[in-house]
Amino acid sequence: TLTAPAPFADETSCQCQAPHEKLTIAQARLGTPVDRPVRVYADGIFDLFHAGHARALMQAKTLFPNSYLLVGVCSDDLTHKFKGFTVMNEVERYEALRHCRYVDEVIRDAPWTLTPEFLEKHKIDFVAHDDIPYSSAGSDDVYKHIKEAGMFVPTQRTEGISTSDIITRIVRDYDVYARRNLQRGYTAKELNVSFINEKKYRFQNQVDKMKEKVKNVEEKSKEFVYKVEEKSHDLIQKWEEKSREFIGSFLELFGPDGAWKQMFQERSGRMLQAFSPRQSPNSSPTRGRSPSRSPSPPWVINKTSPPSSPKAASASLSSMSEGDEDEK
């Protein structure tokens, strides 16, 4: 388990003390020699360390069953002289390599062209690099003598990713990154941006903020409308259910065969029975009445001579009652 970064070659005390016998690739693939790992060397600039670099080092590490991977990183002076300006300085590039899981040792200020003295000093058995000829420093291929000595082992490049590709993306979207860094607090001087471009970028940032706010308001409005529509739908559905229940109850009570009609019919029958006169039975005897006069009903009062006082009224009532008794 890896618990620390890879050591630097000039600081480590773990030097290879075993005799450095020259190996063939076939012998190395068999896992020989048994007393030490096969020492594989890979070098490069490793600017903006990315997955393509890591995959190349993984291949170099797994070329043989038992290998020790040394990685040489060129300094800023050599890189600027033979290749060009870098984004990361040499210290940053050294540290990036130390934290790659496939690297066992990092060699700082590695030579641009490998010499026999350098190979002997670090007990290097094989050099790993992609097989494309690397023309530089007045040579068509700086690894030509390594290939002729049988010490070169090719690796495969990862298509679609390289330091140049990353830099191209940054240059292509320069305005976007400049605006982003201005927004994060970098000054125009640090970004090498002119006064006019700075104002333009800041104005564009304000416009983007306004667009984002408008977008958020639109999204919230849509969400609010959706909630209102959902609640309205629920209310309409509940209203329809209640309406059905109300109509059903109304029809049960007031419909053609409803309870109200039956109750009305029953009460109408009772009222007709109460108001209709009862017929006397045919066998009942008729009362004998005097043909001379028909008795007046007791409630008829003689309107021609109204009583002048309460005493007179009571006397008339008593005389009427006596007359009734005489008729009986």
Q: How far apart are CA 147 and CA 24, in angstroms?
A: 13
Place of tokens 């006069």: 293
The one-character DSSP state at 8 is B
210-222 pLDDT, tens digit per residue, is: 888 888 888 888 8
The one-character DSSP state at 145 is H
Q: Where does residue 31 fall: left (phi above 0), alpha (psi -120 to 50 degrees), or beta otherwise? A: left
Q: How far apart are CA 213 and CA 205, in angstroms?
A: 12
**57 and 69 in contact (C-beta within 8 Å)?**
yes
Token pair listed for 235: 């209310």
Quick one: pLDDT at residue 244? Answer: 80
Q: How many helices (H) and strands (E) does the chain have?
A: 11, 5
Quick one: pLDDT at residue 316? Answer: 53
One-letter-per-residue 3-state SS of 258-327: CHHHHHHHHHHHHHHHHHCCCCCCCCCCCCCCCCCCCCCCCCCCCCCCCCCCHHHHHHHHHHHHHHHHHH
107-131 pLDDT, tens digit per residue, is: 999 999 999 999 999 999 999 999 9
Quick one: pLDDT at residue 196? Answer: 86
Token pair listed for 54: 């890591």
Beta bridge partners of 72: 43, 107
| pTM score of the predicted model | 0.60
Q: What's at 18, amino acid-wise?
A: A
The one-character DSSP state at 139 is B
Instruction: Give how far Cα 102 sits from Cα of 2, 40, 57, 65, Å.
Output: 10, 12, 6, 14
Quick one: pLDDT at residue 297? Answer: 52
State how far Cα 70 lies from the chain centre. 45
**90 and 73 in contact (C-beta within 8 Å)?**
yes
Give all domains of the chain, ordered by start, each with its CATH number. Answer: 25-155 (3.40.50.620), 163-253 (no CATH)
Which residue ranges in the chain fall short of pLDDT 70? 1-3, 13-19, 137, 255, 257-258, 260-261, 275-328
State how far Cα 134 lies from the chain centre. 48
Pairing verdict, β 38-44 and 126-130? parallel
Quick one: pLDDT at residue 19? Answer: 59
Quick one: pLDDT at residue 15? Answer: 58
Q: How far apart are CA 42 and CA 271, in angstroms?
A: 119
308-320 pLDDT, tens digit per residue, is: 555 454 555 455 5
